[in-house]
């Protein structure tokens, strides 16, 4: 695959509008509270009958302190004792999912997100994994990915060793920015030495890979200062990088109200930061996977993209697209077959449902055949930057050219702008269009107009 990118500021500005990140299609905006938990239970039973492997996601919502930029579902508390009752509830929830599946499903992928997963003690993390192994078949082979998000302020070498002993082989470290002034402005004081120490530990303990998260667009950032962080990250050589655009939505996320608008970089400066960062990373040998994600050429994500088997779901880009995804904990989202289900996002409702012996499903969606077709088209464009019409025709029994006549007419405008090439056989996303892949995918989104009216999405740039 040709991984080159062409930066065109005028095009990026013209196409910069709100749009989904397509961790699912339809997106979570389409999930409805009229969805029946029985529908999801039936999907799990079918998965169990077919003995499909699973990916487990555990949401640990607790944080010791609040980061002002954060839009995650979280509970900020100093009371560590809150974790144990929640852990017990997650074990009960696992038991219900396992009962629906009807067998100990093989777990090829497992991820702890948050919040701050290392808010849990070493003993509690052990309990969580023991419970997971009771109800599921944890597979610690070379093909399995067991990952955890780590706040470097909340972990040390002893914790890293414990995680490795539990079977975790990938870590993701939140960095955001090494600049002390930016860290102070977002209430996340995290000296670079903390991150470097945990990376040293991960290398010594033979973790499979390390991901670092960076955010551009934070208060007091500018292109020159952020590139200092990027250069230091390049020296550390993490296998993967996520470079996110900060979406300032104080009307939705209360902590963001503590960030002053006048401290934020201008849209023009954010573009300069994004351009310079992308250039610096690609020059350093990182491959642009798509949607803010970079990886070294020998990383599993880059290899899967080359082979055409990369997948995208609520775990982000993944090599385990054949697995059903089961989300455990408050706000978690599951995808089993063509059925989505999201747990309640507030703790009282989650507790009430689990204690009553019911899955804590608040809303969901069952995809119809048209949804499945469009989900495939969007996923392949996101992962491959290429789409063969013949492959889609064979898989879904349609004629792509007639079925998507309206969408192809819209894409011709993008083709005129150099974002893609289009003929009667395929769509090829060009280097000028890869940074705008969300816009290309939005063409195939039947729900786009209604979703944009709800103002649920961040801008694509």
Give the torsion sign (CA, 268, 435, 373, 37): negative
pLDDT of res. 451: 64
Q: How confident is the model at residue 17 (pLDDT cuts 50, 70, 90)?
A: confident
What is the Cα–Cα distance from 327 to 93, expressed in whole angstroms? 10
Tokens (6 digits) for 37: 């938990």
Residue 454 has pLDDT above 60, yes or no: no
Is the per-residue pLDDT at 243 higher than 80? yes
The whole model's pTM is what?
A: 0.94
Q: Which of 55, 116, 1 is nearest to 317 (CA)?
A: 55
Q: What is the mean pLDDT of residues 30-57?
A: 96
* Range 91-97 average pLDDT: 98
Q: What pLDDT, on a 0 to 100 scale, did the predictor assign at position 9? A: 86
pLDDT score recorded for residue 88 = 98
Rounded to an integer, the average pLDDT of 166-194 is 96
Query: Is the pLDDT reported for residue 453 higher than 70?
Result: no
Cβ neighbours for 368, distance < 8 A, ≥ 6 positions apart: none
CATH class of this structure's domain 368-461:
mainly alpha
CB 11 within 8 A of CB 367: no
Q: Quick check: 381 and 370 in contact, CB under 8 A?
A: no
Give the 3-state secondary structure of residue 401.
Answer: helix
Task: Reply yes or no on whether the pLDDT at 406 is more than 70.
Answer: yes
Please state, in angstroms and rounded to a whole number, the distance separating the CA atoms of residues 395 and 201. Answer: 46
pLDDT at position 152 is 95
Mean pLDDT over each residue of the chain, to the nearest integer: 94
CATH superfamily of 22-327: tm_1862 like domain (3.80.30.20)
Three-state DSSP class for residue 148: strand
User: What is Dmax (Cα atoms) for the chain?
Assistant: 61
Could you give the C-alpha distances from 431 to 132, 420, 460, in angstroms and in order? 43, 8, 17
What is the rounded CA–CA span in Å between residue 416 and residue 435?
16
**pLDDT value of residue 318:** 92
Q: Per-domain residue ranges for the chain?
A: 22-327, 368-461
Q: Give the pLDDT of residue 7.
A: 87
The reported pLDDT for the residue numbered 391 is: 97
Query: How large is the average pLDDT for residues 88-96?
Result: 98
Instruction: Provide the pLDDT for residue 216.
Output: 96
Report the percentage of the chain scoring pLDDT > 70.
98
Q: Which residues, 6 or more positions from 395, have their beta carbon under 8 angstroms from its beta carbon?
A: 376
In degrees and rounded to multiples of 5, residue 243 shows phi and psi of -115, 95
Tell me phi and psi for residue 190, to 5 degrees.
-145, 85
Q: How would residue 13 be classed by pLDDT, with cut points 50, 70 and 90?
A: confident
Q: What is the pLDDT of residue 291?
A: 86
- The answer to whether the bond into 223 is cis (omega within 30° of 0) is no
Closest C-alpha among 41, 32, 29 to residue 363: 32
pLDDT (average), residues 432-454? 86
User: For the range 342-347, what are the long-range contacts, defined as Cβ-Cβ under 8 Å and sequence gap of 24 or more?
Assistant: 342/28, 342/31, 345/73, 347/61, 347/75, 347/86
Place 460 in a pLDDT band, splitting at 50, 70 and 90: confident
C-alpha count within 13 angstroms, C-beta hemisphere, residue 188? 28
């Amino acid at each position: 695959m040709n991984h080159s990118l062409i930066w065109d500021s005028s095009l990026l500005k013209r196409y910069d509008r709100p749009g989904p990140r397509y961790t699912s299609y339809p997106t979570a905006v389409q999930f409805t509270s009229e969805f029946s938990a029985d529908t999801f239970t039936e999907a799990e039973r079918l998965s169990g009958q077919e003995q499909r492997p699973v990916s487990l996601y555990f949401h640990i919502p607790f944080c010791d302190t609040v980061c002002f930029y954060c839009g995650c579902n979280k509970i900020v508390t100093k009371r560590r004792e809150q974790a144990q009752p929640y852990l017990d509830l997650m074990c009960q929830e696992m038991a219900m999912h396992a009962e629906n599946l009807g067998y100990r499903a093989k777990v090829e992928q497992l991820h702890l997100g948050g919040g701050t997963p290392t808010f849990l003690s070493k003993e509690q993390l052990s309990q969580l994994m023991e419970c997971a192994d009771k109800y599921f078949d944890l597979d610690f082979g070379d093909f399995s990915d067991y990952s955890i998000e780590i706040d470097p302020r909340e972990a040390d070498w002893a914790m890293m060793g414990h995680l490795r002993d539990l079977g975790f082989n990938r870590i993701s470290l939140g960095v955001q920015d090494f600049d002390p002034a930016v860290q102070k402005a977002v209430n996340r004081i995290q000296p670079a030495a903390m991150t470097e120490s945990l990376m040293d530990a991960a290398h010594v303990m033979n973790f499979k890979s390390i991901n670092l998260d960076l955010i551009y667009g934070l208060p007091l950032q500018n292109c020159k200062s952020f590139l200092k962080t990027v250069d230091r990250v390049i020296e550390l050589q993490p296998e993967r990088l996520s470079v996110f655009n900060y979406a300032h939505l104080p009307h939705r996320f209360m902590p963001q109200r503590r960030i002053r608008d006048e401290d934020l970089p201008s849209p023009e400066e954010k573009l300069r930061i994004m351009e310079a960062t992308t250039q610096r990373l690609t020059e350093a040998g990182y491959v642009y996977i798509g949607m803010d994600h970079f990886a070294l050429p020998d990383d599993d994500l880059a290899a899967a993209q080359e082979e055409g088997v990369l997948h995208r779901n609520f775990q982000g880009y993944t090599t385990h697209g054949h697995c059903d995804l089961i989300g455990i904990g408050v706000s978690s989202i599951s995808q089993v077959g063509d059925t989505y289900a999201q747990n309640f996002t507030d703790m009282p409702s989650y507790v009430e449902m689990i204690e009553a012996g019911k899955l804590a499903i608040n809303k969901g969606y069952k995809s119809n055949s048209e949804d499945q077709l469009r989900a495939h088209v969007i996923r392949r464009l996101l992962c491959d930057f290429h789409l063969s019409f013949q492959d889609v025709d064979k898989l879904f029994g349609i004629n792509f050219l007639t079925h998507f006549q309206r969408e192809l007419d819209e894409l011709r405008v993008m083709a005129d702008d150099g974002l893609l090439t289009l003929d009667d056989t395929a769509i090829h996303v060009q280097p000028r269009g890869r940074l705008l892949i969300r816009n290309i995918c939005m063409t195939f989104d039947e729900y786009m107009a209604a979703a944009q009216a709800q103002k649920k999405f961040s801008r694509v740039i």
